[in-house]
Structure 1
Amino acid sequence: MNLTNAHSLPEALYRADAVQALDRCAIETQGIDGFDLMHRAARAAFRQLLRHWPHAARVAVLCGGGNNGGDGYLVAANAYQKGMAVDCVAVTDPDRLKGDARRAFDEATSLGVPIEPVEAVSDKALFDRLCASDAIVDALLGTGITGAPRAPFDRIIQRVNRAGIGVLAVDVPSGLNASTGLASGDVIHARVTPTFIGLKAGLMTGDGPDCAGDVVFDDLGVPEATYDAASPVARCVNWRRASTMLAPRRRGAHKGECGHLLVVAGEQGLGGAGILAAEAAARTGAGLVTLATRPEHVSAALTRCPSLMVRGVTHGNDLCPLLSGVDGVVFGPGAGQGPWGQQMMQQVLARPHPLVLDADALNLMASRAPARRENQVLTPHPGEAARLLGITTSEIADDRLAAADRLQERFGGVALLKGVGTVVQTRAERPAVIEGGNPGMATGGMGDVLSGIIGSLLVQGLPAFEAAWLGASLHAEAGDRAARKQGQRGLLPMDLIGELPACLSDSERVGAPGSPADGEE
């Protein structure tokens, strides 16, 4: 592998204990010397230091205990031998170091690297040194941390973040749970995180993407057989990978083959949600899209997107004829939790269609006895997920993979837990964690677009799990493309919808010679 950029990350994601098992396998079974492996990690980290700070003349290296600290001492040695001025601080007493970590400290000392114990450096002196550096190397805490950092690590992490100097975090930012992505206390905010052997799940979800910056993976040249020692907890999915799942349409395809989606959405005053979901579905390739909404929203929907079929519905019975001729349903965006939304939900759940349930559909579900259904996709954000499970949002954040698993277990089908590193969970497959997306997507209506995308893929024939993770990766990619064109702040859902055709063109293949279909039968 030896991958060198964030766009080439491996698919397999591991919890911290699984990566430790891979590390042991490489040493004990594959015959790689542990100290040699530490040297490889240090060289890989130092390459990223040179890549991201090519003109760095002074570097501060903060070393804790264990192998993470050992990596730091060897990074310091690499920098010193390269002619950089090195301020290396031993935060853990070197006399407490054991094994390869102690060997790393001894090697750095023998090469002349200046190393000071943290007790000998005042807070002000440490902060001044950090501010005077061109880059800071964080080798304080490795993958073993599961709670908030204790003294003196918490204090040092605070000073690193206050210094405003770019940080390279070795393997994982200190203070971040490498398994879950939770930062339960002070945590390093890095510019780049080179990570080794196995890609840690916590780097890709929760607080991980904010803290890790540019994640770079290096397998350190361990044999492929090493990866038989532990199973991934999830897989990392981005649009580059997901787009290959969309089969090309046959030349004679017509709209009836491309699926008919019904979007039931838009209580009074909330009409925009349904319009966004329906237009996103059309832009994602559904052959036909019908929007069932409050009558007062019909004109606005047709003005915005005249290719939609739009029906005004006032009572649940008005929905029955529309449900009889469709291949799937999206319900919930802007549906409200009043009588209108309740009536619509009753009719929707009474039919066997594949479903995407979002927004108010989830809030209505939270007040009902849970009913399992295998052909549905639930798309909660953390607040909605907490209501569905009867817990707090902080408990959702504690372990997003576990929370998605609990949702799927309770309600069946597919659970898609939105947020940074969206988690898509089903029972028969390894969960997917979605790479991509940006803070500009933190605005009302983005979730409505996602529900329309997934619904469109469902009626085009994709199984629910594939439709969910492919749709989420398409949604993230469209958001990133829109942000690159106009920036993140001020990004609107309509901007994302406009990027969907260009994203989908990535997956299109040239068909056999012949006349193009006219799209009609």
Structure 2
Amino acid sequence: MPPSVGHSLPDALFSADAVRQIDRYVIDHQGVDGFELMQSAAHAAFRCLVRHWPKCGSVLVLCGAGNNGGDGYLVAASARRHGLNVRCVAVAPAGKLSGDARKAWQKALADGVDVLELEALSDSLLDDLFSEAGLIVDAMLGTGVSGAPREPFAALIGRCNQAPAPVLAVDLPSGLNATTGAAEGDVVNAAMTVTFIGLKAGLFTGQGAAVCGEVVFESLDTADGVAGSGQKPVAARRDWDSVMSWLPPRPANAHKGRFGHVLVVAGDRGFGGAGLLAAEAAARSGAGLVSLATRPEHVTAALARCPSVMVHGLIHGSELPSLLDAASVVVCGPGIGRSAWGQQMLEQVIASGKPRVLDADALNLLSGRVAVPADNHILTPHPGEAARLLNCLVSEVEADRMAAALKLQARYGGTVLLKGAGTVVASEGGILDVINGSNPGMATGGMGDVLSGMIGAVLGQLGDGQKAAVLGAAAHLAAADRASEGSGFIGLIPTDVIDALPLVFRESESYPEAGEL
């Protein structure tokens, strides 16, 4: 199953450094003892343990150095006091611990926890510990660690991922960058992550979206510290439930002219399906009118598939301006290719000055341009397209997806939606939104075409690029989740998502009373 998210999560996403600063502010300025704060975190983690795995049998706790390891020792102490069979491994030598982490280790010993030094364990004994565990608690590497995990942590991360038992990660899975969501080496694949004080942005994008499992948040009563510390979030967490209200209610006397006319420019020879998917998705996402400009040979198939769409077969870009004049929003790029036909279409779309969504080959063609009018467009690259637009490697994009989205927005203007698990939207003024969730069934051709059509339709209704990109992406994911409930992930195709759109958008509908019209 894909990772899920615990209820009642806040919207603010912070960098790891910001959360550390909040933690320090609470201790230094609000008089909260650091060890008491650590105990509160450990108690919260243990509550998750017993709530979700009440019959786990035996618990294996892996403790590193620093406060993350201290949390682990206190979780082990709580498990021991509650009569659980708990084994604790000191991955970092316990004798070198200091401060609150050392106090936590001493408390675990005082409570009768069997703390085993990793360096004294044979491979066969480690094999037994992992195979016998009903649950593994990962408290090895905290937010202060960067880069690929070194030994012995890397080897233990591998053992966690090969073990039959689920993993509860304390604060974040070991090996994950809490700010960027990147992982330079192996990372623990957790079934649940319980995190504290402030939500770390890296838990919700990149590798974080894949390895955190269910995310549970515990503020530890530090809300005043968040405000007092002056630390600002780096992004906002968004999902369908939180943004569906952005769609305005439709009055009983509504007509098609009120909800935008979307022109989809798509589908060179051999890629007619891309235009059909984008156009039908726009029609299913509330657009008042949808037109499709495509190659003439695709017209019959398009009309058969979606007769509500006005389909036009174009041989040359000079035929496009009259269609552009009638449109309020343009979606350009799905399947247009990089030949002369696609180049002509993109040139006409940009010259029109109409609000536009640029996707797929429009982005590849865009990457070769010196200057682009950028006041009213939405770019929707996947990491490969983003790398071409930034003239860098895909690995550089994935190393910090939020930074990459901001660079794209600064270079090309408008709004940028960087696709992938934990989709990132960057808007003017450095505003970042992260779409909460992922669905492995969406890893198939045509899903991006559906998204571009959806965003175009929402843009025609809202007239706001940032809101259109965020809402479109959130609805896209919600529809994929709804569709996969019946089809599963492997068999999910783009038309399944389109078919689920009415059910998703129905959740946002609110009709005013007659007196409000």
Which of the five TM-score ranges fits, normalised by the shorter chain? Answer: over 0.9
Cα separation, 2, equivalents of 1:467 and 1:251: 24
User: How many residue pairs end up in the alignment?
Assistant: 513
Instruction: Tell me the secondary structure at the aligned position of residue 324 of structure 1.
Output: helix
Answer yes or no: is the 8 Å Cα contact 2:350–2:373 preserved in 1: no
Aligned 1:120-519 pairs, distance under 5 A: 120-229=120-229, 230-428=231-429, 430-513=431-514
Cα separation, 2, equivalents of 1:372 and 1:126: 60
Shift of 1:151: 1.0
Structure 2, unaligned stretches of length 5 or more?
none
Provide closer, same or farther for how the CA distance between residues 458 and 113 of structure 1 changes in structure 2, counting only shifts above 3 A: same
Listed one character per residue, the Cα deviations across residues 337-388 of structure 1 (whole Å, up to 9, x for unaligned) are: 0011011011111011001000000010112224240200000000000001
Letter in 1 for 2:172: V
Matched-pair identity in %: 55
Answer yes or no: is the 8 Å Cα contact 1:278–1:452 preserved in 2: yes
Superposition CA RMSD, Å: 1.4
Cα separation, 1, equivalents of 2:104 and 2:17: 23
Letter in 2 for 1:13: L
Indicate the residue corresponding to 2:103 in structure 1.
103
Cα separation, 2, equivalents of 1:206 and 1:98: 33
What TM-score do you get using the length of structure 2 for normalisation? 0.97
Letter in 1 for 2:154: D
Cα separation, 1, equivalents of 2:290 and 2:382: 25
Provide closer, same or farther for how the CA distance between residues 410 and 372 of structure 1 changes in structure 2, counting only shifts above 3 A: farther
Moved more, 285-294 or 51-60: 51-60
Indicate the residue corresponding to 2:20 in structure 1.
20
Moved more, 328-337 or 252-261: 252-261
Cα separation, 1, equivalents of 2:134 and 2:60: 8
Indicate the residue corresponding to 1:519 in structure 2.
none
Letter in 1 for 2:168: L
Aligned 1:7-86 pairs, distance under 5 A: 7-86=7-86
Instruction: Tell me the secondary structure at the aligned position of residue 180 of structure 2.
Output: coil
Letter in 2 for 1:78: S
Answer yes or no: is the 8 Å Cα contact 2:346–2:362 preserved in 1: yes
Shift of 1:164: 2.5
Instruction: Tell me the secondary structure at the aligned position of residue 346 of structure 2.
Output: helix
Answer yes or no: is the 8 Å Cα contact 1:372–1:410 preserved in 2: no
Cα separation, 2, equivalents of 1:127 and 1:422: 38
Cα separation, 2, equivalents of 1:258 and 1:440: 30
Instruction: Tell me the secondary structure at the aligned position of residue 272 of structure 1.
Output: helix
Listed one character per residue, the Cα deviations across residues 234-286 of structure 1 (whole Å, up to 9, x for unaligned) are: 01000000101111022211111111010000001100000100000010001
Answer yes or no: is the 8 Å Cα contact 1:478–1:500 preserved in 2: yes
Instruction: Tell me the secondary structure at the aligned position of residue 428 of structure 1.
Output: coil
Instruction: Tell me the secondary structure at the aligned position of residue 433 of structure 1.
Output: strand
What TM-score do you get using the length of structure 1 for normalisation? 0.96
Instruction: Tell me the secondary structure at the aligned position of residue 352 of structure 2.
Output: coil
Answer yes or no: is the 8 Å Cα contact 2:278–2:452 preserved in 1: yes
Answer yes or no: is the 8 Å Cα contact 1:38–1:71 preserved in 2: yes
Indicate the residue corresponding to 2:118 in structure 1.
118
Shift of 1:191: 0.5
Cα separation, 1, equivalents of 2:515 and 2:272: 42
Cα separation, 2, equivalents of 1:269 and 1:242: 36
Letter in 2 for 1:301: A
Instruction: Tell me the secondary structure at the aligned position of residue 285 of structure 1.
Output: coil
- After TM superposition, what 4+ stretches of structure 1 lie above 6 angstroms from structure 2? none
Answer yes or no: is the 8 Å Cα contact 1:436–1:480 preserved in 2: no
Listed one character per residue, the Cα deviations across residues 382-440 of structure 1 (whole Å, up to 9, x for unaligned) are: 00000010000000011000000000000000011000000000122521000123000
Answer yes or no: is the 8 Å Cα contact 2:22–2:225 preserved in 1: no
Instruction: Tell me the secondary structure at the aligned position of residue 6 of structure 1.
Output: coil
Moved more, 247-256 or 203-212: 247-256
Cα separation, 1, equivalents of 2:223 and 2:488: 42
Instruction: Tell me the secondary structure at the aligned position of residue 92 of structure 2.
Output: coil
